[in-house]
Chains A and B, each alone.
Chain A
Amino acid sequence: MGERARAILPSVFSVFLALALCWVFIALTRDTQVASEAYLQMLRGGVGDWGAYLDGGRITLLTRPWGEAAIKAALLLLTGLSVAVAFKVGLFNIGAQGQMLLGALAAAVVGAQVQLPSALHVVAALLAAGVAGAFWALIAAWLKLVRGVHEVISTIMLNWVAVSLVDNWLVVGPLRAGAGTAVNITGTAEIQASAQLPRLLGEMSRLHLGFPLALAVALVLWVWLARLRTGFETRAVGLGPEAARAAGIPVTRRTAEAMGLAGALAGLAGAVLVLGTEMRYPGTLGAPYGFDGIAISLIGNNHPLGVTLSAVFFGILRAGGTRMQLLGVHKSYPELIQGLALLFVAGRQVWLALLAARRRPPPAPAEPQPAPETAAPPAQRPEVPRV
């Protein structure tokens, strides 16, 4: 089995196993016909209703679902990349949620309060979001590098601090739309038209600039990690900080940079949400996008291209998931599929063992677990491959 296959196959199998398992769940609670129909609806909601379109329907039957899938995919991709970049230096960024929150808030404030010409305004709001997210992540990096606080704990705490301060104070207090007046709107003031991410297909779809932007970010990250010196050094730090330090790589600096970059990406996700679809900081962000990012990154094997594929795939499922409700199937199914897929990806070694066992000449047991004293002499017992 080649290196690349070892990296990709477990994720692919995990996703399919999760899909199959969820199909069985629906079939058990409803019936098989509903389960199949639900999956079909999910697909139609994500990649377009091709059947109806070819029967002489309008192009919006395709462009509407594409737009919804792209919106979801852009957010999953950016938070996924955030988690993936932190992973590259060996940090587990559970704080993408908090970083995204601050980014969304910064974008909403700049979008609403600052007067700038159109193109500049969007860029300024995106930048502000990136800086805000990076700032929040750098607190965790500082705590880790200077004070030795584990990043898993500090980023979880920072998530809660962000939620408390933003959702329970700023957005309902000083930054509330019409603060100080009797007007009661949830969320901040609406951003100005000049700060909106332009829609790419006009009225035909909600597809906006956020999706190509996220794709471009993924591409840049890939080139950076695979081709540039600093990218290589970043990966080296993640593979072994001691060896990297011995090789003269500034480990502390690369770690801080990567964490800051992770925060900036999560912040950017917040900006895309605010500038592209919400047009204001809503009362709450609504979904645990940051935690989705963890799943997307790990299913995509922390590789920018893998993360892109995984984000697009789950973006399609997420967008289509709302259509499953038409059949009375719960809309959280795509999240369940995503969670199960991550669980199976965590069992990467199981997949690799299964794959390796299949290639051995004598038929090995399905679970290649050395059983005590079987009929076969110990020497011929299939070993669990050490990876």
Chain B
Amino acid sequence: MFEVVEAILSSTLEYYPALVFAALGATLSERSGVTNVGIEGMMRTGAFCAAVASITMPTPLGVCVGMLAGAGMAAIHGALSIHWRADQVVSGMALNLVALAGGTYLLEALYGPNGTPSIQQLSRWHVPGLAEVPLLRAFSGHSALTWLALVLPVVFHGIIYHTPWGLRLRAVGEKPHAVATLGLSVPGLRWMAVLGGGMLAGLGGASLSTAVLDRFEQHTPSGLGYMALAATVFGRWTPLGALLAGLFFAAGSALRIGLASSAPGLMTIIPQGFLLALPYLLTLVLLAVQGRRTHAPAALGVPYQQESR
């Protein structure tokens, strides 16, 4: 029994950083009023670039390259949606498609269809003492990103709710014109949020290719970006909500992996498809229950025009 719970817990801790970083990125961007459907594409770019960079440089530096790549994709999104007032969902979907096709092409052109060569994984932290305790030993042997993903949402909570910049960020997503009246730059604030969000999404992708795996593969984010998007909504556009929602979704995926590895008998009774569908079904049910009480930023998805009122 302990082994099953341990396997599920360990698998959850393996996957949740990617979801939490990406959901945090989406939260940041959407709090400023810019819808970010392109998270999946930014994750994919980040994962790819981090893996490629890590071939020639130390892996932590590679992760930074992945973050910059995510920000690069976010810059395209920012240019289109902030500067040129494009439809934000369209721009985001376009990024996803470009990242999907472009990533597939580059991967096969440079390394062949089986993925990049394997790289040095981020070093895993073995917490002394913890490895002997049953159940708690699941917390040992993860990369630093696992711990960062626990801390970062708290830091962002502090920034968003307890600093002047956070107040401006929240205001720009609710009433951009009021922010402009104060002499602050609406595009400037949004640019910061979108680029920061892209970096976080890139970090989420990089965590997949450098901590969970040791390479970039064809299917690396495989929809985790879209899941992170749901986690953002489910977490009500708050950093701590993103953390909890990310943990919840990761646990949902881990349930299947854990059960398959430790209780194969059960898998013959419950079809695997049910377990796979469970996190998504639960999300739908919970969103339906949450209903209209969701607190989407009022100006979300509305391109800002100084003279529109």
Contact = CB atoms under 8 A, between A and B. Distances in A.
Contact of B80 (A150, A156, A347): A347
A386 interface: yes
B284 to A, nearest CB: 5
Interface residues of B, number: 48
Contacts of B91: 343, 346
A342 B287 contact: no
A92 interface: yes
B43 to A, nearest CB: 14
Contacts, number: 141
A50 interface: no
A330 B284 contact: no
A342 B294 CA distance: 31
A216 interface: no
Interface in A282-336: 288, 291, 294-295, 298, 330, 332-333, 335-336
Contact of B94 (A143, A152, A332, A346): A346
Interface in B26-60: 37
Interface stretch (A104-112, A164-172, A187-195): A164-172
Interface string B162-202: 00000000000000000000000000000000000000000
A168 B274 CA distance: 8
Which of A173, A336, A345 is packed against the most chain B CB atoms within 10 Å? Answer: A336
B278 to A, nearest CB: 8
Interface stretch (B17-25, B96-104, B135-143, B149-157): B96-104
B86 A348 contact: yes
A153 B287 contact: yes
A158 interface: yes
A361 interface: no
B90 interface: yes
A154 interface: yes
A2 B264 CA distance: 65
A360 interface: no
A66 B100 CA distance: 27
Given A148-B292, A330-B105, A346-B86, A160 B280 contact: yes
A157 to B, nearest CB: 5
A298 B89 CA distance: 11
Contacts of A339: 94, 97-98, 100-102
A347 B233 contact: no
Interface in A80-136: 92, 94
A335 B100 contact: yes
A340 B94 CA distance: 7
A291 B93 CA distance: 9
B265 interface: no
A350 B83 CA distance: 10
A338 interface: yes
B101 A161 contact: no
A156 B91 CA distance: 17
Contacts of A332: 101, 104-105, 108
A153 B280 CA distance: 10
A277 interface: no
Contacts of B108: 330, 332
A349 interface: yes
Please name the 8 residue pairs, one residue from A and one from B, whose CB atoms are nearest each other, closest first: A169-B273, A339-B97, A164-B277, A168-B273, A164-B276, A148-B292, A336-B101, A335-B101
Interface of A: 29, 92, 94, 143, 147-150, 152-154, 156-158, 160-161, 164-170, 172-173, 288, 291, 294-295, 298, 330, 332-333, 335-336, 338-340, 342-343, 345-350, 369, 386
7 contacts: A156-B226, A157-B230, A157-B284, A166-B273, A339-B101, A347-B86, A350-B84
Given A158-B280, A166-B273, A336-B102, 12 more contacts: A94-B93, A149-B288, A149-B291, A150-B296, A156-B226, A156-B230, A157-B230, A164-B276, A165-B277, A336-B98, A339-B94, A343-B95
